[in-house]
């Protein structure tokens, strides 16, 4: 036990004396969560609009006011002829232009149908789509109010309700995602690098020719990172909770347990990587390509798994992060417990045990 | 018998690193493995320290088999690999403390063994190992390898990249450790260090050329040896090699070592030849062969 503690003490010296690993450990989680939180987002805010109101009557003014008073849009300028429409887009001042037809109010009251054209700048297709949807929603609301006064018969009302994330906040998606990435990266990459570093500087030879058992070396290497990963997870959760208003519906205890399980599976992967790479460079490349990319692309963090081609869906099933994301989203957003998540948890547990067995088996007691 | 190798062979793919190596090292002996880079010295060290498995043959260290009893061997040997394998980001004291801890001992418990060496680096004990000079690193590495009082010490090229003064001090330390009963297997590419061992094995391309005391190995040189010098050393070597009766010609410090094929060789013949070739300031004198001469002689015939 004294040997083990001595070993862990040494590992902490390594970590705290290396600025690069300190940065990866503590700088990156915070940078990532802030980056995703503030920069990478699908939500729109203060989008600049231009309006070409050919009618300029009571109803069009009312609608324009509704749009301008929402926090999503700022009416940047009013246009007065058709030529200006194209010119404004080319200058890139606005993301969308609303065009009211002449006699808007008259047509609406007399004929019951009036046209508004929404022209968007689709060089950014996702933004354009979102803008169109938001404007359509405002118009629909206005329309409903209008109908209440005039009462048109036979009408189907769609009442949609977004469960678990009513405001469609992207923070609900990226906090679990970033947490998964960070835990994977810190645990797997950092352990694989720290083990291969010993190979590179030759100290592994001395450690092997010592009474330390292979298991002691592995555990000693891994233990500090379990500890640091847990700290990281807590920091991310706190940031998500206090800065971005991430909900926490379920049991914190269960979340902690599942996170430790995921951390251990990532650590086992890290050990596995270190057994097949001779240098820190290789270990880092394998970690980035072999672990980080699947986590980002295949885990369902950014791209929904259901819309992937079948082979990729199968592939995503063997990525531990896929299951971890399902689990933590379930706990944080839906507040469900083991009763619902037992299958996912069991799969994650199975994968973790498999990786541990494999890495202990592949860990070499000699140099070859 | 402290170390025993029996017919050890090891290949990496098609490269035969060591071939049919057998030798024995006695208790308390300093045994040197002498040979150039790539001769297979490090492979032998790794087999004996249980880091590599031999393809053929068997070996014992301290009476234990290197394959079957590898765990026991790992408890009782000290190993200093070719590169000074220390943690560069730990201080001198932390390095030593770490190695003491993993061997289940403490600096205090075995201080008398490393005292000689450690007192020299103790003033720098707070300094990071990465900031030490080559000689200091070497002393620290040796201290780390000794901290658990090993019965057998394996030193793989411990003096490579170390200044001459530190090298000399290092060998004095080895002699003191030997006096305490520790068996030392050391490898070196430097022939002058070979002379400091009790016995040496000359090794080349994975094969042992000769095993004996340094004195006997030097004496094994078959011919008379001459020191030759002239104003233009480069041209001197060329011309000596061109001389029909030349047996061997090697640059050796400021001299050229020359051996002649004839048993009744008269240096005057050679002087005449060199004068004819327009050499100035010619010196020719008899000299005693060194280990290096024997090594070159043996290596040439392989």
Interface touch A206/B81, C-beta < 8 Å: yes
pLDDT at A158: 64
pLDDT at A27: 86
- Closest Cβ–Cβ partner in A18, A202, A211 for B74: A211
| CATH 3.30.70 domain residues, chain B | 221-301
- Closest Cβ–Cβ partner in B51, B77, B90 for A205: B51
Best probe of the B interface among A205, A219, A368, by most B CBs < 10 A, is: A205
A45 pLDDT more than 80: no
B144 Cβ under 8 Å from any chain A Cβ: yes
pLDDT, averaged across chain B: 90
Asked whether residue A114 is domain-assigned, the answer is yes
B72 Cβ under 8 Å from any chain A Cβ: no
Mean pLDDT within A93-98? 86
A218, A346: one domain: yes
Mean pLDDT within B82-108? 89
Q: Put the strands of the sheet holding B207-212 in their side by side order.
A: B77-80, B152-155, B183-188, B30-34, B199-204, B207-212
A19 Cβ under 8 Å from any chain B Cβ: no
Interface touch A209/B79, C-beta < 8 Å: yes
B228 pLDDT more than 80: yes
A281, A206: one domain: yes
| Burial (Cβ within 10 Å: 0-12, 13-18, ≥19) of residue B144 | buried
The tokens for A326 are: 């399902």
pLDDT at A261: 94
- Per the CB < 8 A criterion, the answer to whether A157 and A143 are in contact is no
pLDDT at A157: 60
Name every residue whose Cβ is closer than 8 Å to that of residue B121 and which is 6 or more positions away in sequence.
B92, B132, B136, B139, B140, B143
Mean pLDDT within A260-272? 93
| Burial (Cβ within 10 Å: 0-12, 13-18, ≥19) of residue A34 | middle
pLDDT at A149: 65
Asked whether residue A155 is domain-assigned, the answer is no
Mean pLDDT within A313-337? 91
Asked whether residue A246 is domain-assigned, the answer is yes
Identify the band that residue A327 occupies on the pLDDT scale cut at 50, 70 and 90: very high
A306, A243: one domain: yes
* Boundary-marking domain end, from A150, A177, A200: A150
Q: Cα(A239)–Cα(B92) distance, rounded to whole angstroms?
A: 40
* Alpha-carbon gap: B152 to the closest alpha carbon of chain A (Å): 12
A136, A179: one domain: no
Q: Cα(B299)–Cα(B35) distance, rounded to whole angstroms?
A: 10
A133, A31: one domain: no
pLDDT, averaged across chain A: 85
pLDDT at B122: 87
B213 Cβ under 8 Å from any chain A Cβ: no
B9 pLDDT more than 90: yes
- CATH class of the B3-218 domain in this structure: alpha beta
| CATH 3.40.50.300 domain residues, chain B | 3-218
Mean pLDDT within B49-57? 93
A142, A174: one domain: no
pLDDT at A352: 93
**Could you list the residue range(s) of the whole structural domain that residue A324 is in?**
18-40+169-362
Residues of A within 8 A of B70 (CB-CB) are 365
Q: Cα(A212)–Cα(B119) distance, rounded to whole angstroms?
A: 28
Interface touch A366/B53, C-beta < 8 Å: yes
A119-168 per-position pLDDT tens digit = 888 887 878 888 888 888 888 888 777 776 665 556 566 666 767 777 66
The domain B221-301 is classified under which CATH number: 3.40.50, 1.20.120, 2.60.420, 3.30.70? 3.30.70
Interface touch B101/A7, C-beta < 8 Å: yes
A218, A137: one domain: no
Interface touch A205/B144, C-beta < 8 Å: no
Residues of A within 8 A of B97 (CB-CB) are 6
Best probe of the A interface among B69, B92, B101, B156, by most A CBs < 10 A, is: B101
A338, A251: one domain: yes
pLDDT at A151: 59
Asked whether residue A262 is domain-assigned, the answer is yes
Percent of chain A whose pLDDT exceeds 90: 23
Identify the band that residue A94 occupies on the pLDDT scale cut at 50, 70 and 90: confident
Touching B: A residues 338-367, CB under 8 Å: 365-367
A149 Cβ under 8 Å from any chain B Cβ: no
| Residue A93: CATH number of its domain | 3.40.1710.10
Asked whether residue A195 is domain-assigned, the answer is yes
The number of domains in chain A is 2
Residue of chain B with shortest Cα separation from A14: B89
Residues of B within 8 A of A214 (CB-CB) are none
A138, A175: one domain: no
Highest mean pLDDT pick, A9-13, A128-132, A167-171: A9-13
Mean pLDDT within A88-102? 85
CA terminus-to-terminus distance, chain A: 28
pTM score: 0.78
A222, A351: one domain: yes
Interface touch A211/B103, C-beta < 8 Å: yes
pLDDT at B68: 93
Interface touch A10/B87, C-beta < 8 Å: yes
Q: Which stretches within A121-189 are classed as H helix?
A: 125-150, 171-184
Residues of B within 8 A of A205 (CB-CB) are 46, 49, 51, 79, 81, 85
Mean pLDDT within A72-96? 85
B118-168 per-position pLDDT tens digit = 888 889 989 999 898 888 888 899 999 988 889 999 999 998 888 888 889
A3 Cβ under 8 Å from any chain B Cβ: yes
B53 Cβ under 8 Å from any chain A Cβ: yes
Position with higher pLDDT, B70 vs B84: B70
pLDDT at A43: 67
Q: Which of A141-150, B35-44, B49-58, B132-141 has the lowest mean pLDDT?
A: A141-150
A112 pLDDT more than 80: no
pLDDT at A267: 92
Asked whether residue A117 is domain-assigned, the answer is yes
* Boundary-marking domain end, from A121, A150, A179: A150
B89 Cβ under 8 Å from any chain A Cβ: yes
A276, A145: one domain: no
Touching B: A residues 207-236, CB under 8 Å: 207-212
A354, A256: one domain: yes
Asked whether residue A26 is domain-assigned, the answer is yes
A17 Cβ under 8 Å from any chain B Cβ: yes
Q: Cα(B54)–Cα(B208) distance, rounded to whole angstroms?
A: 16
pLDDT at B302: 64
């Amino acid at each position: 036990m004294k040997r083990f503690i001595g070993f862990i003490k040494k590992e902490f010296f390594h970590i705290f004396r290396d600025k690069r690993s300190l940065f990866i450990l503590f700088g990156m989680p915070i940078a990532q969560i802030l980056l995703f939180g503030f920069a990478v987002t699908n939500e729109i805010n203060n989008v600049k609009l231009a309006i070409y109101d050919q009618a300029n009557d009571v109803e069009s003014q009312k609608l324009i006011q509704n749009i301008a008073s929402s926090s999503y849009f700022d009416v940047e300028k009013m246009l007065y002829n058709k030529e200006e429409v194209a010119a404004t887009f080319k200058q890139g001042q606005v993301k969308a232009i609303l065009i009211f037809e002449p006699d808007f109010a008259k047509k609406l009251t007399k004929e019951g149908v009036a046209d508004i054209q929404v022209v968007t700048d689709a060089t950014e297709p996702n933004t354009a789509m979102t803008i169109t949807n938001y404007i359509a929603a405002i118009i629909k609301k206005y329309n409903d109010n209008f109908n209440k006064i005039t009462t048109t018969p036979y009408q189907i009302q769609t009442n949609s309700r977004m469960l678990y994330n009513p405001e469609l906040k992207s923070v609900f998606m990226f906090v679990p995602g970033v947490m998964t990435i960070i835990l994977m990266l810190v645990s797997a990459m950092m352990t694989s690098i720290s083990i291969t570093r010993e190979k590179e500087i030759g100290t592994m030879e001395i450690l092997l020719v010592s009474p330390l058992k292979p298991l002691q070396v592995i555990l000693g290497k891994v233990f500090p990172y379990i500890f640091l990963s847990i700290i990281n997870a807590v920091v991310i959760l706190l940031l998500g909770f206090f800065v971005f208003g991430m909900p926490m519906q379920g049991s914190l205890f269960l979340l902690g347990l599942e996170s430790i399980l995921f951390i251990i599976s990532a650590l086992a992967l890290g050990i596995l990587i270190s057994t097949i790479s001779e240098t820190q460079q290789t270990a880092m490349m394998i970690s980035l390509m072999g672990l980080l990319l699947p986590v980002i692309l295949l885990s369902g963090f950014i791209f929904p798994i259901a819309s992937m081609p079948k082979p990729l869906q199968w592939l995503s099933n063997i990525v531990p992060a896929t299951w971890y994301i399902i689990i933590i989203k379930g706990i944080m957003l839906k507040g469900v417990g083991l009763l619902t998540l037992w299958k996912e948890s069991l799969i994650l547990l199975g994968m973790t045990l498999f990786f541990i067995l494999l890495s202990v088996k592949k860990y070499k007691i000699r140099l070859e | 018998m402290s170390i025993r190798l029996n017919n050890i062979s090891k290949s990496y793919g098609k490269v035969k690193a060591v071939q049919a190596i057998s030798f024995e090292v006695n208790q308390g002996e300093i045994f040197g493995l002498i040979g150039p880079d790539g001769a297979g010295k490090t492979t032998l060290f790794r087999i004996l320290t249980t880091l590599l498995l031999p393809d053929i043959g068997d070996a014992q260290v301290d009476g234990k088999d290197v394959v079957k009893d590898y765990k026991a061997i790992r408890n009782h040997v000290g190993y200093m690999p070719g590169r000074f394998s220390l943690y560069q980001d730990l201080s001198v004291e932390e390095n030593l403390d770490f190695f003491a801890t993993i061997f289940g001992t403490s600096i205090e418990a075995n201080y008398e063994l490393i005292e000689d060496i450690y007192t020299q680096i103790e003033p720098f004990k707070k300094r990071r190992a990465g900031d030490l000079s080559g000689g200091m690193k070497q002393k620290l590495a040796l201290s780390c390898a000794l901290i658990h009082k090993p019965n057998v010490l394996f030193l793989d090229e411990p003096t490579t990249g170390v200044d001459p003064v530190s090298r000399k001090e290092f060998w004095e330390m080895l002699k003191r450790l030997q006096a305490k009963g520790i068996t030392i297997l050391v490898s070196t590419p430097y022939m002058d260090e070979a002379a400091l061992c009790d016995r040496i094995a000359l090794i080349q391309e994975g094969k042992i050329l000769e095993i004996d005391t340094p004195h006997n190995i030097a004496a094994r040189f078959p011919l008379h040896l001459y020191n030759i010098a002239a104003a233009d050393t480069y041209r001197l070597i060329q011309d000596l090699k061109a001389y029909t009766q030349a047996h061997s010609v090697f640059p050796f410090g400021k001299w050229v070592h020359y051996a002649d094929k004839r048993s009744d060789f008269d240096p005057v013949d050679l002087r005449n030849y060199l004068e004819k070739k327009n050499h100035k300031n010619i010196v020719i004198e008899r000299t005693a062969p060194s280990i290096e001469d024997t090594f070159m002689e043996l290596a040439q015939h392989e």
